Structure 1
């Protein structure tokens, strides 16, 4: 398989104030994942970062700004990982397995970030949601192109490319809801297992 996906999408930048900003993002990520966006106060976010509520506004204009930053970063990182896996040369099967391995593995490794990115999307304003939707469409397109290529050459047997794409994408993304489990406890186990399942999905023809 290809290499591991990028590290946490909220990695600190080498600039003044980056450490404090990162602490706020980490605190917000954990709070949003546990209590939801609407159940989390800015005071809780600041307290989790060891800062005063007023200090948070030095780095972010609002709680909505924090959420947008987390969701954009999560989606961008997941897409970059998927593109990296899909870039593997070879057959459609090899590309699909590589793409799914990387994409599913990312959602296991970054399951807290992924949970916020997926389940708190509805809390964004309409304007902010539009920014994320563009990335989500690009993500679906990458996976769909692999499945469509395999279907075109006869390597895959799928009745509907869009439905097959939805099934494979959902398989990977849902990892954020339950990881880790008794059956799959490591990131690589998730990637390898789901790569095999994805191949069976596109090769089954009743």
Structure 2
């Protein structure tokens, strides 16, 4: 029982540190954040923080790795829920848009602080980002092949889709004018317009 309690305490402390680091990186930027900033937000001393994470970069890596892993898994699951390319893109876009709205603080960190990672850590995260791009690219290419989408350049369309979704994290606020659901639905409809999906964007995604 004592071991389980100690393990739970360690997990809780680590989660507090990761949450504090995410908040600090999003607000101050990686370069502008000190270990003291993170420790203060986590309610512990810098020395205690080093027991769990050896450096700021290690914290950024942990945040970025988990964030990208979860996003990739979420859109892969969303893609599997559709049959046609239009349905698949609609489902993926809803998930992608909602993720960047609901987790806007984390999303700002994992998308805009990547260059602070070591080359090795950046490479691991880049592979996950490639996986996310592959989900979009496979759907758009399939839609072009079936005639559902009207796209001249699949690569450019996918960059546009990803950029539009990621940017939600820069401006979305939970106490703002629009809800997560509204923003996600709007992004989905715009995503379908970007690829020239046949018919009405919103209705096509729900068919």
CA contact (8 A) 1:108 1:179 kept: yes
Structure-1-length-normalised TM-score: 0.88
Within a 5 Å distance, the mapping from 1:62-77 to structure 2 comes to: 62-77=55-70
How far apart, in 2, do the equivalents of 1:185 and 1:54 lie? Answer: 42
CA contact (8 A) 2:86 2:197 kept: no
How far apart, in 1, do the equivalents of 2:109 and 2:123 lie? Answer: 17
Larger C-alpha radius of gyration, 1 or 2?
Answer: 2
Aligned residue in 1 for 2:71: 78
How far apart, in 1, do the equivalents of 2:56 and 2:162 lie? Answer: 29
How far apart, in 1, do the equivalents of 2:61 and 2:189 lie? Answer: 34
Within a 5 Å distance, the mapping from 1:123-138 to structure 2 comes to: 123-138=116-131
How far apart, in 2, do the equivalents of 1:181 and 1:159 lie? Answer: 36
How far apart, in 2, do the equivalents of 1:166 and 1:74 lie? Answer: 19
Aligned residue in 1 for 2:54: 61
How far apart, in 1, do the equivalents of 2:14 and 2:175 lie? Answer: 35
- Alignment root-mean-square deviation, CA: 1.8
Aligned residue in 2 for 1:109: 102
CA contact (8 A) 1:33 1:116 kept: yes
- Match for residue 189 of structure 2 among 186, 189, 196: 196
Aligned residue in 2 for 1:146: 139
- Match for residue 86 of structure 2 among 84, 93, 97: 93
Q: 1:183 to 1:163 in 2, by over 3 A?
A: farther
Structure-2-length-normalised TM-score: 0.88
Secondary structure of 2:152 counterpart: coil
Tell me how far 1:42 sits from its aligned partner: 0.6
Tell me how far 1:181 sits from its aligned partner: 8.5
Aligned residue in 1 for 2:203: none
Tell me how far 1:15 sits from its aligned partner: 3.8
Q: Which runs of 5+ in 2 are unaligned?
A: 1-6, 199-207
How far apart, in 2, do the equivalents of 1:133 and 1:27 lie? Answer: 24
Q: How many residues align?
A: 192
Which structure dedicates a bigger proportion of its chain to helix? 2
How far apart, in 2, do the equivalents of 1:160 and 1:110 lie? Answer: 30
- Match for residue 38 of structure 2 among 45, 49, 53: 45
- Match for residue 163 of structure 1 among 156, 159, 162: 156
Aligned residue in 2 for 1:11: none
Q: Does 1:30 align with 2:30?
A: no
CA contact (8 A) 2:174 2:180 kept: no
Range with greater deviation from structure 2 (175-184 or 20-29): 175-184
How far apart, in 1, do the equivalents of 2:89 and 2:177 lie? Answer: 20
